Amino acid sequence: MEHRQLTADEQLAIFAMEALDEASVCRRELKEIRAALALLPWGLPAVDPSPQLKARLFERVRAWPAPVAEPASVPRMMDFSLLDWQASGHPGVSLHMLRHDQATGTITALAKLQPGATYSSHRHPGGEDCLVLQGGFRDRRGEYRAGDFIYYEPGSEHHDIQALEGDECVLLLVAHGGMELLPS
């Protein structure tokens, strides 16, 4: 027996005969619409903003009022203290490995730096994606805080990384092709 998708008119006729409830039709259509919408961003080309647009955006962000402290009743997205942190060999720096792809060497991990802690100089052969989840850090390129996303190009080197004062710095890192420690 061959199966085929019912047309909208056929579904409406079945619904009119009360053999198919409205919720079933709506759920199916909603599922199809969500699946199509989820694919839309993948069809867009990646575009870097113009320097003028980037400057305007940063001006608007700087003009925002200071954030209001979260009420105690609002939970954080993730309680980092519950994770299994491993010492990195650098004082005040610990890691929580999420994934290590043996085939490509790519490492996905969380890094936690205590305020003022530093990390040794290193290179990323395949580049690195870094999302600041909590606190902040500085390096030779700038200063970054919670919510900032930083991309380091393949072959780029990190020197003079230091966590900012205040909250612990927690980073989500994806080191494409791993990382190589550099001489101090």
pLDDT, residue 55, reads: 86
Domains and CATH numbers, the chain: 9-43 (no CATH), 84-181 (2.60.120.10)
* Amino acid (one-letter) located at 82: L
Nearest alpha-carbon partner for 157 in 117, 133, 184, 131: 184
- As beta bridge partners, residue 118 has 162
pLDDT beyond 60 at 80? yes
The C-alpha atoms of residue 9 and residue 24 are separated, in whole angstroms, by 15
pLDDT beyond 80 at 67? no
**Rounded to two decimals, what is the model's pTM?**
0.58
Neighbours of 12 (CB within 10 A): 13
Confidence of residue 11 (pLDDT cuts 50, 70, 90): low
pLDDT, residue 150, reads: 92
pLDDT tens digits for range 22-34: 666 677 777 777 7
What is the sign of the dihedral through the CA atoms of 60, 151, 142 and 51? negative
Nearest alpha-carbon partner for 129 in 148, 101, 114: 148
pLDDT beyond 80 at 46? no
Do the strands 93-100 and 107-113 form a parallel or antiparallel pair, or are they unpaired?
Answer: antiparallel
Confidence of residue 19 (pLDDT cuts 50, 70, 90): low
